Amino acid sequence: MPLTHRQWYRRGLKDGVPIGLGYFAVALAMGIAARNAGLTAVQATVTSLLINASAGQYVGFTLLAARAGLLEVALMEAVSNARYLLMSCALSQKLPTDTPLWQRLVLGFDVTDEIFGVSISVPGKLDPYYTFGAMTTSIPGWALGTFLGVVLGNALPLALVSALSVGLYGMFMAVFVPAARREPVVMGLVGLSFAASYLVETLPLFSALSSGFRIILLTVVLSLGAAILFPVKEDDNAP
């Protein structure tokens, strides 16, 4: 029997808890960066609720601290967050064809790397309420961590903030490692992406590009190559 929207939402709530804990740890450093840029706790918290992008917020806070113009901030935000366009397009392919527009817009607005990872790993079609549940327990952790980071300022030891942030990377690895163990193609792509990421970061031709643009470039090239060489056949009977 197919799961109901409520059951999918509850499953998303559960899967979003470790994401929220990881977000909370990383957002403490985000709050410190916001305070150094001159933002209040309320302003930084609202920013985290509306943007939900670590790289984008770091870029924005850094430019604000440097007294950059609004146009420059807008352009850099567009570059650093452009990868979410690709994630939204990928998630749209997993949604049932009758998914309402407002649900698609919410998914696109609040998609993050980790929420995308757990959502894209759902077998078959994606019920939007699963992602809504993951958002419910993860996004508040990001906002609360930012708030406390501003309030506490630089009182937290730098070593502690760095140690807490490692947990998010471990959580993100837990998203793709099971799939990589099941699928040799995924395992190969993971290893190839690690090697390619190192090369584009060190080669002079690519190192001058922003990290966000390098991620977009690798995502497009690797995913396109995998789709051509190892196409996934969809089940016609899938919901």
Q: Are 128 and 6 in contact (CB under 8 A)?
A: no
Which pLDDT band holds residue 140 (cuts at 50, 70, 90)? very high
Q: For 2-35, give one letter per residue: b (16+ CB within 10 A) or e.
A: eeeeeebbebbbebbebbbbbbbbbbbbbbbbbb
Domain ranges of the chain: 5-174, 183-239
Q: Which amino acid is at 208?
A: A
Left, alpha or beta for 38 (phi > 0: left; psi -120 to 50: alpha)? left
SS3 label, residue 111: coil
Mean pLDDT, range 194-205, rounded to an integer: 87
Average pLDDT over residues 133-158: 87
Question: Mean pLDDT in the chain?
Answer: 83
* Share above pLDDT 70 across residues of the chain, in percent, rounded to a whole number: 87
Percent of the chain with pLDDT over 90: 29
Confidence at residue 101, expressed as pLDDT on a 0 to 100 scale: 94
pLDDT of residue 211: 66
Is the predicted pLDDT of residue 236 greater than 50, yes or no? no
Q: Enter the pTM of the model.
A: 0.72
Longest dimension (CA), the chain: 57
Give me the count of residues in the chain. 239
The pLDDT value given to residue 164: 63
Tokens of 212: 């966000």
